[in-house]
Structure 1
């Protein structure tokens, strides 16, 4: 793989975890060799895409590298006339590539990166905040602020659209990254992380229940397991009217969210530092002991002020991924797919509540296991295919379709105005058979 010029220092190409993730995204390959310009930088630096020096004579570059590639290739990996050949020949395809050693070029939507700051978290390790310019297939530009972890550098943990400071109207074409991230504000009116819109769309399953809560003068409650930069927390609060409780394992991540993503605690946003799985277990124990009520007070263990949680959560949003790079990109973590955890989640949900999970299944069997475990505790299951060939959103409702959002009401109308209609239309009920 030819590394894009000037992106050699990106953690994707300069760390073991980045190399491993690249290889895991190409399951048909047994080994991957990265070819790049040498650099002695230890951390990612800002980048602006330009024309590669070798773009016009790519064939010649590949041909010059071929002897080295063949020397590094496993001998038993070459075949001639159906038999193993210990002396591979240069067999050029019509496209000009050598069939035994395919050359790949890394391409994504990023055309410019400005690294704002690098942090060290006690749990997640090194992380960075960057402003990026994206160019989409239709030629349109997008401007984003992103949070990435070094342990999983190919996975964007959080991203939000950015606009010019004190600019009432968002005009991305006028933005320039040069000059520092302090000139920009994050925009919480839209969700740009691919799977967040489908997670919000999943609330249509219990739209009738949520609308009834609001008409009764009650503010719906959402528990977000995994906060990151806080895009979902802020959107649920500011755009959907929820009181939101967020749990994040690393305090430094919350500090980053406050500094760069506009995340703030308030009377309707409560942030907790702690292990998400342990937190829902403790909340479930509290409900079983005090029947859903707890005195006003302060939880010294994780710094979360409960503010008289006299009612259960209407929605639990699960946006957590595995911390083990060897598993590849995997969400939720395997620890979440346990009967005790799923039972705890159901326990702290209201009678018509829903558990909504961002799912990136590394294997079909793991996906089927999650479906089967959820089916044991929840009345109905629904799925939304995000459409990026990676993410699915699972919706598990405590009760059956009596709280459906099929009919129009104030809440479902708000959802439809906030997310793409295609995600709402693609909500599919999962039958008793996983397939």
Structure 2
């Protein structure tokens, strides 16, 4: 819907309507020269796709100044993710049924061309509080009729948004045949009291609040491709093997469960092999090859994502690292059914299968893995592709408790043992499904592999793995 002036019919918001999205321009109720928000304001209203309580709850978010062009705030998919995550983060048991975004009007081209961003220097601006107070009549008018009682009017909280991003410099916007529109961007992330960290990130428009991949940017005077904004960052290059994504280190930590098996293979001159379903920017693949000496096969559904990984994230293929384009889940399933050796090789050819795929369903918020991973046919096929001491490693973002329970029960029916590592960010868990039971000798903190894992990841992370 166009974000131009919109005449809202009387009573339009009296009732909830699943997934209804309406946006309109509204006069700034605080026309103050000190008020950084201009005139008019953009107001976007989204109703939850799910039934709510009998007395619905409404919340609002004041779009950070300068972020109005960001897909997080300018698209329905971003708005839906904000609604889902705000309901999950709130202490109240009842989720929000409606989320209102109030902010500046995006540029006409913002849907396809995100803009650079520099966080304003001011911190807690008193005029922002005044603006919130001045918006209260509007927010009450946007509340469903059932939110009011004879005794009280609804409380509409303003929710805060802070992803720690200080600066954003868009690098390139592309469109892939599978994931759709995507954005490569360079960012400066607040790490106070440490200096900001420079990173290169990849986000998809269909789920803009989820960072698909990110790597550190390090100074490189030899390159002629500087970070486009701000210029004082100077020339930078991606640190291709950096495990910046919060769950990548925990996924690699799972190799401690098969450390002795890897040692045995190495003693016979064989390199460990890993299959990565979901490539993203390729940081995990590069780390496994460069830091841990693995032969790696990656499978990515979208050829443009692979191209982005090569061009912008430093992915380099050679005899030890191969990337295939296709459906990784289907490739694993086919490897069990086929009589001839397929693209993944024959049976029992991998020490580890690592699955890093999201559900691609913004309606349910950010969740992982897709439901196909829970199907018995895939789990049996994955087990057949792994060797006798192999491990299936899966990044999990549970949409709810029942999903996590269903996932672990499905895995338990096929694999000998399950282990878990809480990433500690309030969102991700990593599940390790073992083909064979882990013996005490395997879990001893000795050997070259374990020492390398401890050096790169830290002993605390390895010690956090627990049997479930």
Q: Secondary structure at the match of 2:324?
A: strand
Give the distance between the partners of 1:357 and 1:142, measured in 2 at CA.
28
The answer to whether residue 447 in structure 2 is matched with residue 409 in structure 1 is yes
Q: How does 1:331-342 map onto structure 2 within 5 Å?
A: 331-342=368-379
Structure 1 residues 70-119: Cα deviation after superposition (integer angstroms, max 9, x where no partner): 111123213464xxx5xx3xxxxxxxxxx711112311210000000000
Distance 1:80 1:55, change over 3 A: farther
Shift of 1:401: 1.5
Aligned match of 2:398: 361
Q: Secondary structure at the match of 1:407?
A: coil
- Please point out which of 85, 98, 113 is paired with 1:31: 98
Give the distance between the partners of 1:209 and 1:197, measured in 2 at CA.
20
Distance 1:75 1:107, change over 3 A: same
The answer to whether residue 403 in structure 2 is matched with residue 351 in structure 1 is no
Shift of 1:67: 1.1
The answer to whether residue 359 in structure 2 is matched with residue 326 in structure 1 is no
Structure 1 residues 322-378: Cα deviation after superposition (integer angstroms, max 9, x where no partner): 111112111100121100011110010000000000000101111111111111111
Distance 1:242 1:428, change over 3 A: same
- Please point out which of 338, 342, 353 is paired with 1:316: 353
Q: Secondary structure at the match of 2:387?
A: strand
Give the distance between the partners of 1:320 and 1:181, measured in 2 at CA.
32
Q: Secondary structure at the match of 2:166?
A: strand
Shift of 1:310: 8.0
Aligned match of 1:107: 162
Shift of 1:166: 4.6
Structure 1 residues 379-405: Cα deviation after superposition (integer angstroms, max 9, x where no partner): 110000000010000001100113623
- Please point out which of 397, 406, 415 is paired with 2:434: 397
Structure 1 residues 114-136: Cα deviation after superposition (integer angstroms, max 9, x where no partner): 00000000000000100100012
Structure 1 residues 255-279: Cα deviation after superposition (integer angstroms, max 9, x where no partner): 0001001112210111100011101
Distance 1:242 1:166, change over 3 A: farther
The answer to whether residue 266 in structure 2 is matched with residue 247 in structure 1 is no
The answer as to whether partners of 1:78 and 1:100 remain within 8 angstroms in 2 is no
Give the distance between the partners of 1:409 and 1:5, measured in 2 at CA.
52
Give the distance between the partners of 1:400 and 1:108, measured in 2 at CA.
40
The answer to whether residue 230 in structure 2 is matched with residue 178 in structure 1 is yes
The answer as to whether partners of 2:357 and 2:368 remain within 8 angstroms in 1 is yes
- Please point out which of 259, 262, 280 is paired with 1:210: 262
Q: Secondary structure at the match of 1:377?
A: coil
Q: Which runs of no fewer than 5 residues in structure 1 stay unpaired?
A: 89-98, 169-173, 431-435
RMSD: 2.3
Aligned match of 2:147: 77
Q: Which has the higher contact order (CA 8 A, sep 6+)?
A: 1
Aligned match of 1:92: none
Aligned match of 1:160: 215
Distance 1:245 1:177, change over 3 A: same
Aligned match of 1:195: 247
Give the distance between the partners of 2:403 and 2:263, measured in 1 at CA.
34
Shift of 1:420: 2.9
The answer to whether residue 465 in structure 2 is matched with residue 427 in structure 1 is yes
Distance 1:182 1:54, change over 3 A: closer
Q: Which runs of no fewer than 5 residues in structure 2 stay unpaired?
A: 1-60, 88-94
Q: Given the two structures, how large is their TM-score scaled by the length of structure 2?
A: 0.80
Distance 1:3 1:234, change over 3 A: same
The answer as to whether partners of 1:405 and 1:412 remain within 8 angstroms in 2 is no
The answer to whether residue 415 in structure 2 is matched with residue 378 in structure 1 is yes
Q: Secondary structure at the match of 2:304?
A: helix
How many pairs are equivalent? Answer: 395
Please, which moves more after superposition, 20-29 or 246-255? 20-29
Give the distance between the partners of 1:182 and 1:278, measured in 2 at CA.
43
- Please point out which of 284, 309, 320 is paired with 2:336: 284
Q: Secondary structure at the match of 1:246?
A: strand
Shift of 1:320: 0.4
Give the distance between the partners of 1:309 and 1:218, measured in 2 at CA.
16
The answer as to whether partners of 1:118 and 1:128 remain within 8 angstroms in 2 is yes
Shift of 1:189: 4.5
Shift of 1:39: 2.4
Aligned match of 1:2: 62
Aligned match of 1:93: none
